[in-house]
Amino acid sequence: MIPARHAPVLVTAGLFAALFILGALQYDGFGTLRVFLNLFTDNAFLAVTAIGMTFVILSGGIDLSVGAVIAFTGVLTAVLIQAGWPLWLVFPLVLVIGGTFGAGMGCLIHFYRLQPFIVTLAGMFLMRGLAVVVSERSVPIEHSVYDAVNAAGVMLPGRAFISAQAIMLVIVLAGALILAHYRRFGTYVYAMGGNAESARLMAVPVARTTIGIYALSSFLAALAGIMFSFYTSSGYALAAVGLELDAIAAVVIGGTLLTGGYGYVIGTLVGVMLMGLVQTYIAFNGSLNSWWTKIVIGVLVLIFVCLQRIRIPTRAATGSARE
Amino acid sequence: MTAATSLLSLRGVRKEFPGVVALDDVDFEVRPGEVHALLGENGAGKSTLIKVLTGVYPRDGGEMSLGGETLSPQSVGEAQAAGISTVYQEVNLLPNLSVAQNLLLGREPRRFGLTDWKQMNAKARETLKRFRLDIDVTRPLGAFSVAIQQLVAIARGVDQRAKILVLDEPTASLDASEVEVLFDILRDLRTAGLGVVFVTHFLDQVYALSDRITVLRNGRKIGTFETAELPRPKLVEHMLGYELQGTASSHASRGTVTEGNDAALEMDSACVSGSVQEISLAAQSGEAIGLAGLLGSGRTEVCRALFGLDTLSSGRIRRNGRDVHITSPRGAIAKGIALCPEDRKANGIVGELSVRENIALALQARRGWWRPIPAREKRAMAEKAITDFKIATPDADKPVRLLSGGNQQKVILARWLAIAPDVLLLDEPTRGIDVGAHAEILRLIHQLCERGMALIVTSSELEELVAFSHRVIVLRDFRQIAMIEGEDITEDAVLQAIAS
């Protein structure tokens, strides 16, 4: 028997399979390993961001700053590389900046009891503004390592390609799965999302966990920023505008409850993949405007939020029927 | 008193909140291998003392030591690490995590730094065996009944290698056989040398289990007594601070109500799908109808149907002989029906609002939001309620969430009485509140009947039901199984109906 709590993830996976089969029947070259693997490559930075977002939402919070962190990281990386800084210094530096920035937001949220929405909204403006201050124009990156990494990967038959982006995504995913399901930190995240007050009374280190959650989210956003800079071979302050909302949508479509406590990291990956597949489908169709992607995603989010609504009252009702 | 060494000792503990001294120079001592009952009225300071003990509140003065070492826990984690674990009144576990995760949160067995799920579930099953609970520990806790959740919470508390186990009203949601299981376990723990602090308002349980009793009143310690040497009336006197008037119910006051009149509120073979079936009852003005039955028998559901929270699938509700359709609480209030819900915190009070705002809420809702109640009128109303109901609060501006349970209940009552409803539904009005407030609420029920209000009251305490009811409806499995009237209402009769 399949536990009911896995149902949302399975629904999303089912939708993915259905759309994949539909596309394969309609269009030549759709139902191939190549298209499937390209989903990983093209959505790697979004998936990495959304995985961080999953922890935030599981804990009952929200992080609106991730898109701006990606842009800031990308533009700073590009400027520093063009200024001649070595990569081994640039990458750790921007990752530390990202992590520290997130930890700072976590501190504000915990110690001053501020709404995550407001704190991360402020963080979003701050990061976006800083990004523009660093460079208003798009900065191209010319570096041999960038060319090498972008060409690196595993070529499979049928021109299918496992890119460095995809490999990075799989590594992050593996780490996130371990963190969520095999480390105390993960349990604490679920605990806080289930009931913050109970979690505190059960001696969950709420301060450490809150700071850790937002640090993780910003760190992964910074990592996604680096991946984005590889993907575009440039850094641009106005890149990834609204990406935080795509990440939130992916988390919701992946079956995580927006109020926290219920959901899975793997669901988020499936959510991102489904969103990517919708985009691919529309690209294969050719006649549809690419903005239809947004419409479909909007409908999907709405359906999933409604499904969660239906699931929740049944749980509450069985609870109250016992008096 | 023997010179037994103390395990936990508090000396001169003081705790203040803005405007209130919650604990004033309180001494408290627990010996190894004893069950120590901590008793007192609402607002006596029991909860505050427990929260100081367990690191939720820092204390403002006094000493505390555990096993001879001074202790000033700054967080729940610190107190737990020192050996004080607590099970709170409301189940404070996490419904979204599995039973095993709840039991072992923060102490998960690990291998190579990763959670070892197999060992964790095995350990959890082992722990629950002692509680005679054989459940699937991998399922989310929320899938189980409140009673099982409560037992899991206690199992968690016991399992922490605690030296002191604090139980705050642990039996509120347990039935008799579950209470027995719990008491057996507590006796084992006592034998093992644990110190158990036991807070409850069930005096029977105090006498069944505890070795010593400490009574608090108004934030001060009244005394510590050997349970065997303290007769029950004396205990109640200590708790209330005055001599008990005869508690015998005044059956005489149960005046005959003129028959033939249309009932103020009547339910005729009412059914709600998935809930109560074929319920018929009639409350005349000036009558109190008691709803009896075990946990889950459908008492709350009857109230929900009458207040429009659930809609009838068949049958009808009549007010003064006329059929009415009640589809929402708003509709019910408009028809003069008010409900004091069972779960005060979730459904009754608006914790952040002041006492005054909470009291004015229902009246305001009836007037409509575009016609605010003048501030002076509101203040007068609140002041009157505070004196009439003896609500223990420094002033009417205090947020309601800071009051104790019994006082919150009084605020809810005051709120409804401000709109003078014809029918008042009271769902477990005395749950979780102690003797003094208890007696006051019973007195109030009598008064309201005399004023001509019709009351429908659920209660799991038979003694109480028998004391105020003109008629008792007994429910089982969502069905009405008996109705007992007039002189036939005795605890025995009701008990037999429930057990039949």
- Tokens 């602090």 -> residue: B197
**pLDDT level of residue B91 (50, 70, 90 thresholds):** low
A265-285 vs A164-182: helix axis angle to the nearest 10? 150
**pLDDT level of residue A235 (50, 70, 90 thresholds):** very high
**pLDDT level of residue A312 (50, 70, 90 thresholds):** low
Averaged pLDDT for residues B218-228 = 88
Q: Does the beta-carbon distance from B275 to A204 stay under 8 Å?
A: no
Q: Does the beta-carbon distance from A194 to B114 stay under 8 Å?
A: no
Pairing of strands B69-70, B61-66: antiparallel
What was the pLDDT predicted at B417?
82
Q: Does the beta-carbon distance from B94 to A5 stay under 8 Å?
A: no
**Residue length of chain A:** 323
Residues B218 and B20 sit within 8 Å (Cβ to Cβ): no
State which of A163-177, B100-114, B192-206 shows the largest mean pLDDT: A163-177
Q: By three-state DSSP, how is residue B134 classified?
A: coil
N-to-C CA span, chain B: 47
With CA atoms as reference, report the closest residue to B128 among B144, B110, B106, B111.
B144
User: Which residues, numbered 229 to 288 in chain A, qualify as contacts with chain B under a Cβ-Cβ cut-off of 8 Å?
Assistant: 261-262
Residues B427 and B458 sit within 8 Å (Cβ to Cβ): yes
What was the pLDDT predicted at B246?
42
Looking at residue B372, the DSSP 8-state letter turns out to be: P
SS3 annotation, B253-317: HCCCCCCCCCCCEEEEEEECCCCCECEEEEECCCCEEEEECCCCCCHHHHHHHHCCCCCCCEEEE
Q: Which residues contact B481 (CB under 8 A, 6 or more apart)?
A: B474, B475, B497, B500
- Tokens 């989310």 -> residue: B140
Out of A134-143, A145-154, B146-155, B291-300, pick the least confident. Answer: B291-300
- Tokens 């019709």 -> residue: B454
- Summarised one tens digit per residue, pLDDT across range B17-66 is 876 778 888 999 999 989 999 987 666 788 888 888 888 888 888 888 88
Range of the domain at A250: 4-316
CA atoms A172, A177, A183, A187: torsion sign? positive
C-alpha angle with apex A64: A61 to A69, nearest 5 degrees?
125
Q: Does A323 contact B at CB distance below 8 Å?
A: yes
Residues A66 and A247 sit within 8 Å (Cβ to Cβ): yes
B114 contacts in chain A (CB < 8 Å): 178, 182-183
Check residues B174 and A294 and name the one with the higher pLDDT: A294
Give the CATH number for residue A268.
Answer: 1.10.3470
How many Å is the maximal CA-CA distance in chain A? 69
Q: Does B56 contact A at CB distance below 8 Å?
A: yes
Query: Minimal Cα distance from A189: which residue of B?
Result: B97
Same fold flag, B8-240 and B264-499 = yes
For the stretch B200-228, what's the b/e string if a residue is b when 16 or more beta carbons lie within 10 angstroms of its beta carbon? bbebebbbebbbbbbbbbebebbebbebe
B300 contacts in chain A (CB < 8 Å): 320, 323
| Measured distance CA(A52)–CA(A272) in Å, rounded | 13
Averaged pLDDT for residues A25-33 = 91
What was the pLDDT predicted at A320?
34
Q: Does B352 contact A at CB distance below 8 Å?
A: no
CA atoms B361, B364, B365, B366: torsion sign? positive
- Burial of A27: CB neighbours in 10 Å, binned 0-12, 13-18, 19+: middle
Query: Minimal Cα distance from A203: which residue of B?
Result: B77
- pLDDT above 90 (res A286): no
| Measured distance CA(B195)–CA(B84) in Å, rounded | 9
| Measured distance CA(A74)–CA(A68) in Å, rounded | 10
Q: Does B273 contact A at CB distance below 8 Å?
A: no
Residues A303 and A48 sit within 8 Å (Cβ to Cβ): no
Out of A31-35, A132-136, B252-256, B458-462, pick the least confident. Answer: B252-256
Lookup: tokens for A124: 């979003």
Q: Does the beta-carbon distance from A187 to B101 stay under 8 Å?
A: yes
- pLDDT above 50 (res B381): yes
Q: Does A208 contact B at CB distance below 8 Å?
A: no
Query: Minimal Cα distance from A197: which residue of B?
Result: B92
A116-134 vs A87-111: helix axis angle to the nearest 10? 150
- Summarised one tens digit per residue, pLDDT across range B352-362 is 788 888 888 87
| Measured distance CA(B319)–CA(B324) in Å, rounded | 7
Q: Which residues contact B403 (CB under 8 A, 6 or more apart)?
A: B43, B355, B391, B392, B393, B411
Pairing of strands A139-140, A234-235: antiparallel
pLDDT above 70 covers a percentage of chain A that reads 95
With CA atoms as reference, report the closest residue to B307 among B334, B338, B276, B284.
B338
Question: Which of A184, A204, A315 is closest, CB to CB, to B108?
Answer: A184
What was the pLDDT predicted at A306?
86
Fold of B264-499: Rossmann fold (3.40.50)
| Measured distance CA(A246)–CA(B226) in Å, rounded | 66
User: Which residues, numbered 293 to 322 in chain A, qualify as contacts with chain B under a Cβ-Cβ cut-off of 8 Å?
Assistant: 315, 319-322
- pLDDT above 70 (res B296): no
Q: Does the beta-carbon distance from A321 to B97 stay under 8 Å?
A: no
With CA atoms as reference, report the closest residue to B8 among B190, B188, B195, B225.
B195
- In total, the C-beta contacts within 8 angstroms joining chain A to chain B are 79
| Measured distance CA(B202)–CA(A298) in Å, rounded | 55
Residues A255 and A267 sit within 8 Å (Cβ to Cβ): yes
| Measured distance CA(A205)–CA(A188) in Å, rounded | 8
Q: What are phi and psi of B82, to 5 degrees?
A: -75, -15
Query: Minimal Cα distance from B148: which residue of A?
Result: A322
- pLDDT above 60 (res B256): no
What was the pLDDT predicted at B263?
81
Domain contains A72: yes
B93 contacts in chain A (CB < 8 Å): 198, 202
Question: Which of A194, A197, A320 is closest, CB to CB, to B97?
Answer: A194
Out of A66-80, A273-287, B124-138, pick the least confident. Answer: B124-138
What was the pLDDT predicted at B247?
43
Domain contains A225: yes
Averaged pLDDT for residues B467-496 = 82
Helices H, strands E: what count in chain B? 16, 22
- pLDDT above 80 (res B262): no
B401 contacts in chain A (CB < 8 Å): none
Which run of H or of E encompasses B441? Answer: helix B435-450
Q: Does B350 contact A at CB distance below 8 Å?
A: no
| Interface with chain B: mutation pick from A2, A198, A204, A206, highest number of B CBs within 10 Å | A198
- The domain locations on chain B are 8-240, 264-499
Q: Does A205 contact B at CB distance below 8 Å?
A: yes
What was the pLDDT predicted at A247?
96
**pLDDT level of residue B249 (50, 70, 90 thresholds):** very low
- pLDDT above 80 (res B351): no
Averaged pLDDT for residues B78-87 = 85
Domain contains A211: yes
- Burial of A168: CB neighbours in 10 Å, binned 0-12, 13-18, 19+: buried
Distances, alpha carbon A220 to alpha carbons A100, A224, A227, A241, in Å: 12, 6, 10, 17
Instruction: Render B55-71 in DSSP notation, one character per residue.
Output: TSS--SEEEEEETTEE-
- Summarised one tens digit per residue, pLDDT across range A197-233 is 888 888 889 999 999 999 999 999 999 999 999 999 9
| Measured distance CA(B372)–CA(B392) in Å, rounded | 27
CA–CA min distance A313, chain B (Å): 13
| Measured distance CA(B79)–CA(B222) in Å, rounded | 26
User: Which residues, numbered 169 to 188 in chain A, qualify as contacts with chain B under a Cβ-Cβ cut-off of 8 Å?
Assistant: 178, 181-184, 187
CB atoms within 10 A of CB B351: 14
Q: Does the beta-carbon distance from A201 to B86 stay under 8 Å?
A: yes
- Tokens 């679920």 -> residue: A190
The ipTM value here is 0.84
CB atoms within 10 A of CB B372: 12
**Residue length of chain B:** 500
**pLDDT level of residue B399 (50, 70, 90 thresholds):** confident
Q: What are phi and psi of B61, to 5 degrees?
A: -175, 160
What was the pLDDT predicted at B402?
81
| Interface with chain A: mutation pick from B97, B119, B139, B166, highest number of A CBs within 10 Å | B97
What was the pLDDT predicted at A2?
56
- pLDDT above 50 (res B250): no
Q: Does B115 contact A at CB distance below 8 Å?
A: yes
Domain B8-240 falls under CATH 3.40.50.300: yes
**pLDDT level of residue B2 (50, 70, 90 thresholds):** very low
**pLDDT level of residue A72 (50, 70, 90 thresholds):** very high
CA atoms B173, B178, B180, B184: torsion sign? negative
**pLDDT level of residue B330 (50, 70, 90 thresholds):** confident
Domain contains A322: no
- Tokens 């006492």 -> residue: B355
Out of A313-317, B91-95, B133-137, B412-416, pick the least confident. Answer: A313-317
- Burial of B14: CB neighbours in 10 Å, binned 0-12, 13-18, 19+: middle
- pLDDT above 50 (res B244): no
Domain contains A123: yes
A323 contacts in chain B (CB < 8 Å): 295-296, 299-300, 342
Q: Does the beta-carbon distance from B88 to A201 stay under 8 Å?
A: yes
- Summarised one tens digit per residue, pLDDT across range A113-125 is 999 999 999 999 9
Residues B421 and B453 sit within 8 Å (Cβ to Cβ): yes
- Tokens 């406590």 -> residue: A261
Averaged pLDDT for residues A251-271 = 93
| Measured distance CA(B85)–CA(B156) in Å, rounded | 9
Lookup: tokens for B423: 């029918």
DSSP bridge partners of A156 = A160
- pLDDT above 60 (res B7): yes
- Summarised one tens digit per residue, pLDDT across range B331-342 is 888 888 888 887
Q: What are phi and psi of B398, to 5 degrees?
A: -70, 135
Q: Does A203 contact B at CB distance below 8 Å?
A: yes
| Measured distance CA(A57)–CA(A271) in Å, rounded | 14
Report the domain count for chain A.
Answer: 1
- pLDDT above 50 (res B119): yes
Question: Which of A198, A203, A323 is closest, CB to CB, to B296?
Answer: A323
